[in-house]
Amino acid sequence: MTFGTAALSDAHGGKVKIGLITTLTGGGASLGVDTRDGFMLAIDQAGNDMVEVIVEDDERAPDVAVQVADKMIQSDKVDILTGIVWSNLALAVAPAANAQGKFYVSTNAAPAQLAGKGCNQDYFAVSYQNDNLHEAAGAHAKASNYSKPFILAPNYPAGQDSLTGFKRLYGGELAGELYTKLGQTDYAAEIAQIRASEADSIFFFLPGGMGISFLKQLADSGIELPVIGPAFSFDQTILPAVGDSALGVHNTSQWNKDIDNEANKKFVEGFEDAYGRLPSLYAAQAYDTANLILSAVEKAGIADHDAFRAALKEADFASVRGKFSFGNNNHPIQDIYVREVIKEGDVYTNKIISTVLTDHQDVYAAECGLSN
């Protein structure tokens, strides 16, 4: 599948070729579809004929992602890779792409390994660092004076980072801490434990279908505790499937559709016009990523690798989040908000209720050898 505004006769001709690898089939495809749609919206709006985008599916499998990336680098001769949703796939692709002299600009996944000692001058995360939203949830729990939250996440690297991130800025006592199986769909056992633990609140990180299952079962169990989570389980891609069970839940995000600035207005309206649905966090991040790349294309030729990198690092683009800049490790310094799940007419969505962290950066930046 090739989208693009330019017909190419030969490999380069000064044009920038972007390989977007994301999950378009199988479980989790909704996130990849939103990533692609957000990215392509920015490209279409810019109408810049110096940019060409190739889109391919990674089927959420690391081996497939690696194969696609190799093909894009070897035969399609892309200059920049982007689009991967999942941290384990990003870890398989990004360092290898960097080693072959290509840029990797992440629309979502930003594992700790690539933010600290393993940072690379050609690797940029536009979204956040993985811990950020969980840290914000911890800070929000503390600010809300919760004294005994029960916390749970799947037992895999991002899940462990999540609970560590929550505890980092919460700092208090816990009613309980649980790791669930990755991909688990039945949470009866965990919910029974939460009920018995006398917790005063619940924090959970269960991305995609896992979160839908958990919330529906929690609502069905009659437990009525305040629930906090990162944006992933309350995102526009899944809220309609959760329904009323999510109403009133507080979740942390660096973006929402009601952030009041020109870029965000253009994005949200453009997305609804083009695709007939509300955009998600993933779409917003991909839109920002595309605009960041476009801003660098305006300033420097891709042939001058160093100049192009410097142009990326400047982050001189209108982010839908408002202010945005990169720290020394090429991860964002940004504000993080608390959102509440609401119903607007028939549509389940979020509204921002407060700013929980201002100009927040990740803790790994200090371990990264790069400078600003």
Partner 1 sequence: MSTILLIEQILNGLQFGVMLFLMAAGLTLIFGVMGLINLAHGSLFMIGAFVAAAGAAATGSFVLGLIAALMAAALFGALIELTVIRRLYARDHLDQVLATFALILIFSEATRWVFGSFPLYLDTPEFLSGTVTLPGGILYSKYRLAIILIGLAVAAGLFLLISKTRVGMRIRAGENDREMIGALGVDISILYTMVFALGAALAGLSGALVGAIQSVEVGMGEPVLILAFVVIVIGGIGSIKGALAGAVLVGLTDTLGRSLLPLLFALFMDPSAATSVGSALASMLIYILMAGVLLFKPTGLFGSA
Which parts of this chain interact with partner 1 (CB under 8 A)?
24-27, 29-30, 33, 155, 160, 177-181, 183, 185-186, 188-190, 192-193, 195-196, 208-213, 216-217, 220-222, 237-238, 240-244
**Residue number, 101 or 171, with CB nearest to partner 1:** 171
Q: How far is the CB of 152 from partner 1 (least distance, A)?
A: 9
Q: How far is the CB of 157 from partner 1 (least distance, A)?
A: 12
**Residue number, 281 or 294, with CB nearest to partner 1:** 281
CB 341 within 8 A of CB 325: no
**Residue number, 103 or 271, with CB nearest to partner 1:** 271
**Residue number, 49 or 220, with CB nearest to partner 1:** 220
**Residue number, 167 or 339, with CB nearest to partner 1:** 167
**Residue number, 144 or 217, with CB nearest to partner 1:** 217
**Residue number, 86 or 326, with CB nearest to partner 1:** 86
**Residue number, 30 or 329, with CB nearest to partner 1:** 30
Q: Phi and psi of 149, rounded to 5°?
A: -75, 150
**Residue number, 244 or 304, with CB nearest to partner 1:** 244
**Residue 47: other Cβ atoms inside 10 A:** 8
For 155, half-sphere exposure in the C-beta direction (CA atoms, 13 angstrom radius) is 6
Nearest to 35 by CA among 287, 294, 211, 215: 287
CB 252 within 8 A of CB 337: yes
Q: How far is the CB of 188 from partner 1 (least distance, A)?
A: 4
Q: How far is the CB of 25 from partner 1 (least distance, A)?
A: 7
Tell me how far apart the alpha carbons of residues 159 and 210 are, in angstroms, rounded to a whole number. Answer: 12
**Residue number, 218 or 297, with CB nearest to partner 1:** 218
Q: Which residues contact 184 (CB under 8 A, 6 or more apart)?
A: 154, 210, 213
Q: Which residues contact 143 (CB under 8 A, 6 or more apart)?
A: 356
Tell me how far apart the alpha carbons of residues 201 and 151 are, in angstroms, rounded to a whole number. Answer: 9
Q: How far is the CB of 245 from partner 1 (least distance, A)?
A: 8
Q: How far is the CB of 8 from partner 1 (least distance, A)?
A: 30
What distances in angstroms separate CA 202 from CA 47, 137, 169, 182, 243, one per listed residue? Answer: 46, 11, 15, 19, 19
> Which amino acid is residue 2, in one-letter code?
T
Q: How far is the CB of 287 from partner 1 (least distance, A)?
A: 18
Q: How far is the CB of 225 from partner 1 (least distance, A)?
A: 14
Residue 247 CB burial class (10 angstroms; 0-12, 13-18, ≥19): middle
CB 250 within 8 A of CB 226: yes
**3-state secondary structure (DSSP) of residue 47:** coil
Q: How far is the CB of 278 from partner 1 (least distance, A)?
A: 11
Residue 49 CB burial class (10 angstroms; 0-12, 13-18, ≥19): exposed
What distances in angstroms separate CA 332 from CA 34, 139, 216, 357, one per listed residue? Answer: 21, 18, 33, 13
Q: How far is the CB of 127 from partner 1 (least distance, A)?
A: 20
Stated length of the chain: 372
CB 260 within 8 A of CB 282: no
